[in-house]
Amino acid sequence: MEDMSDIKKLDDGKYSFVVGRQRYTLSTPLKEEHFSRVVRTVQDVVSSFPPHLSQEERLFLGLMAISNETANIALKLEKLVNTLEKEDD
């Protein structure tokens, strides 16, 4: 049986992978290691949702969760930069 979390490298930067209940195939200029990290992050987030949700709901909630995390990281970085700038004064 196929491992649904596998990311298959096809050719010329093309990959096949599963998110939620759907297999996707796309091309990317990202290096394999970086792309795999991104896909695994999305897979982890989407797999944490209740199984009764539709694929569309799972993807939308995944987008919202990752966007929220990105916004939180941006705020922390901004605070860190402000702190470092104050120390330089």
Question: What confidence tens digit (pLDDT) does each residue in 5-40 have?
Answer: 689 999 888 999 999 999 999 999 999 999 999 999
Q: Summarize pLDDT for 45-89 with one digit per residue, the tens.
A: 999 999 999 999 999 999 999 999 999 999 999 999 999 988 887
Q: List CB contacts of 13: < 8 A, sequence separation 6 or more.
A: 27, 28, 29, 30
User: Does residue 65 contact residue 45 with C-beta atoms inside 8 Å?
Assistant: yes
The rounded distance, in Å, linking the Cα atoms of 28 and 12 is 9
How high is the pLDDT of residue 1?
44
Q: For residue 8, give the DSSP letter.
A: E
Domain boundaries, the chain: 7-88
Q: What pTM does this model have?
A: 0.81
